Amino acid sequence: MNIILFGPPGAGKGTQSKYLVKKLSGFQVSTGDMLRNEIQNNSDIGKKIINDMNDGKFVSDEIVNSLIKNVVFDSKKRNKLIFDGYPRSLSQAKNLDILLKDSDQKIDLIFFLNVNKQTIMKRIEKRKKIENRSDDDTSTILKRYDTYMETTKPVLDFYSKNSNFKEIDGSLEIDEITRKINTFLNV
């Protein structure tokens, strides 16, 4: 089963994708983790990524799509992909469709964790204290939230027409969101 989880920064995508990975014996495809790994390795790509993230921008589709391609064509991960925050743009969505078609796979479920800005701010402040993430600066998060909502709208419009698209109130408690997700899983 391949699943996409959408939601602004701090919506709980990571938490829910980790749950789904465990429940479905799947593989989390977190572009955020992939990008942070590039930064940690201090690669050339990592340096470009950190500049974009610090400016509240998204990393280029070219960089993200190349990282995703390697995962989609990994035979061990076939039909066990939990996309956490990807795709974020219409070109990424179209790229994912091509990659899945070329690898004879499909998306089974698409979840949108819809959360307002105030809830995000509270969660980010809490996460900042617990995880000490470098990308959890308040002003950066506000920029990323606005950018996310603006750039992701076409992607949501693209996927929301599908019968497998499910919008969930992301301001609910973690276990309530998990219960809602479970109602759509046929496992």
Work out the percent of the chain whose per-residue pLDDT is above 70.
95
Cα distances (Å, whole numbers) of residue 18 to 9, 97, 178: 16, 23, 11
Q: How many CA atoms lie within 13 A of 169 on its CB side?
A: 5
Vertex 11 angle, CA 6 and 16, to 5°: 70
pLDDT at position 1 = 94
Task: Report pLDDT digits (tens) over 53-76.
Answer: 788 777 888 888 888 998 999 999
In contact, 86 and 28? CB cutoff 8 Å: no
High-pLDDT (> 90) share of the chain, % = 49
What is the per-residue burial (b if ≥16 Cβ within 10 Å, else e) of 167-185? ebebbbeeeebbebbeeee
Q: For the domain that residue 54 is a member of, what is the CATH number?
A: 3.40.50.300
Q: What is the pLDDT at residue 23?
A: 95
Containing structural domain, residue 51: 3-184
pLDDT at 118: 84
Q: Helix 61-72 and helix 44-54: axis angle, to 10°?
A: 120
pTM of the predicted protein model: 0.82
What total number of domains does the chain contain? 1
Burial class (CB in 10 A: 0-12, 13-18, 19+), 3: buried
Q: Which two structure tokens, joined as six digits, stand for 142? A: 């506000």
pLDDT in tens, 92-110: 999 999 999 999 999 999 9
> What is the per-residue pLDDT across 116-164, written as a single tens digit (0 to 9) for each?
888 888 877 777 777 766 555 677 777 878 888 888 889 999 999 999 9
The distance from CA 87 to its chain's CA centroid, rounded to whole angstroms, is: 7
